[in-house]
Structure 1
């Protein structure tokens, strides 16, 4: 059986969908998440839904019972100490449950990545290595949706704002990264593998705005803001403070070239080119 944590999240539920598309029997898939309507809905597909909480370690071992492989989808934004503790709870439960492979969604170029979200991933990778568990590390690149999600509002206002300057990002669609995770989970030779999963090309926010303008027929330009001013814009939009900090930090990192790192790992796994930025824009505008 294959267990996927964070199964009701934006990445986890797509991983489960791709496992089903690849022919994994629904009864051999375990969806692990907090109790919610979205998680429960997976049961209608025949998926084995098990409720568990990263903050309640005693719930994790029963959730992994009988699982040969576990995908640890990294915990949502929060203090590093909290997320590290949550990840360690999953690692411990995987050991106790006799899991044969632990796959972990880390961050691209983890050893040298300077983003604020990178340290917790480095610590988790080290904890997995120290555990002795057979493991595969999926160093996911920046999700294209992190920026395309803002396009509809940007078109309404005529400007896309950010603090990324002319920095380029080799972002990948969440769907591509979920499909890659499903492929890895269905292969038998993944212990010890480390993948840096990025898009095939890197683009700027100015290029993103130009593509959205071309597709929508509405003028749209990118306006680069100082980090503090961009932070205020996001706060005024009502975003939670941890999310604000994540977005601003990421844009500043992009401006420094942190996410222009490109590998062929993702396209090789998929057996095709990664989804281009233009398609991600089309999906965002049609949503």
Structure 2
């Protein structure tokens, strides 16, 4: 069986390729990206979501493919990329398409960051013969990136007290690999989450304990967050994306805990403390 990973040069893509290499010695792995690399047991192919003509060759002969969305935050771009990748995979005759999506995905209009995931899910369900959706909770590694500024200011902020079941990137990768290497996942929508949801105060305390500096959680107005980012010179589409994520936090979109990682990966998800500590060394 030929298994493709589209978006293989990113952090998640590389992690999925590693999982596939570690967990099978039967199937061929094809790593697809704008800057492909071949290695032992892995064939690199050029595939660019912004150049659909490259995807026809990239997806040719694949039995299964994992589609990883880009991090392009420009309104409408990621949704168009998702639709182009799905259309190319369907046209190439890929038997089973696995789409990486986001927890809490629902119908939204641009520029909401979730609109691209909704467009991708709808295109997949409507056009693919066999499909699976893996919705990811918010990355634990992304919380670790916030730790430096939080340690300096002494404050972790959000729009309201909220709960998030942060998931490690390696756990998402293991779950995705489990889908394509296993059976019985066609037509399923899974949620890759951590084992527990953490409040803002709980994650601030966790970060403080790890970095050894006092950090508290504070709810701030939407305008205050946007104004601060504008003063940093960030473009509007980035400001809106960050604000949209924080609004999803406040609305409970990421307060989802499932056993799907353990079911698909064959092991429990990593503890948030362990992921944060590993990334804050």
TM (norm. structure 2) is 0.89
Task: Select which of 268, 276, 279 maps to 1:273.
Answer: 268
CA distance in 1 between counterparts of 2:189 and 2:135 reads 7
CA distance in 2 between counterparts of 1:9 and 1:90 reads 16
CA distance in 1 between counterparts of 2:278 and 2:68 reads 24
Matched position secondary structure for 2:164? coil
Task: Select which of 108, 128, 138 maps to 2:124.
Answer: 128
Pairwise mapping of residues 110-121 of structure 1 onto structure 2 (< 5 A)?
A: 110-111=105-106, 116-121=112-117
Superposed CA offset, 1:13-64 (max 9, x none)? 1111111111246x811111112xxx43xx2344211112111111001011
Q: CA deviation at 1:185?
A: 1.3
Name the structure 1 match of 2:188.
193
Name the structure 1 match of 2:17.
16
Q: Which runs of 5+ in 1 are unaligned?
A: none
Superposed CA offset, 1:143-179 (max 9, x none)? 1222221113322x14233224210111211111111
Name the structure 2 match of 1:167.
162
**RMSD value over aligned CA atoms?**
2.3
Matched position secondary structure for 2:66? strand
Tell me, yes or no, if structure 1 residue 224 matches structure 2 residue 225.
no
Specify whether residues 145 and 246 from structure 1 end up closer, same or farther in structure 2 by C-alpha distance, changes over 3 A only.
farther
Tell me, yes or no, if structure 1 residue 143 matches structure 2 residue 151.
no
Larger displacement relative to structure 2 (15-24 or 270-279) = 270-279
Q: How many residues align?
A: 279
Specify whether residues 240 and 52 from structure 1 end up closer, same or farther in structure 2 by C-alpha distance, changes over 3 A only.
farther
CA distance in 2 between counterparts of 1:160 and 1:283 reads 21
Task: Select which of 78, 86, 90 maps to 2:81.
Answer: 86
Specify whether residues 81 and 213 from structure 1 end up closer, same or farther in structure 2 by C-alpha distance, changes over 3 A only.
closer
Contact 2:175/2:265 (<8 A) preserved: yes
Contact 1:213/1:220 (<8 A) preserved: yes
Name the structure 2 match of 1:253.
248
List, as ranges, runs of 4+ consecutive aligned residues in structure 1 with deviation greater than 4 Å.
112-115, 235-241
Q: Which runs of 5+ in 2 are unaligned?
A: none
Larger displacement relative to structure 2 (215-224 or 203-212) = 215-224
Contact 2:79/2:115 (<8 A) preserved: no
Name the structure 2 match of 1:152.
148
Superposed CA offset, 1:44-85 (max 9, x none)? 344211112111111001011221111111232334533232
CA distance in 2 between counterparts of 1:217 and 1:249 reads 30
CA distance in 2 between counterparts of 1:285 and 1:212 reads 9
Matched position secondary structure for 1:49? strand
Matched position secondary structure for 2:160? coil
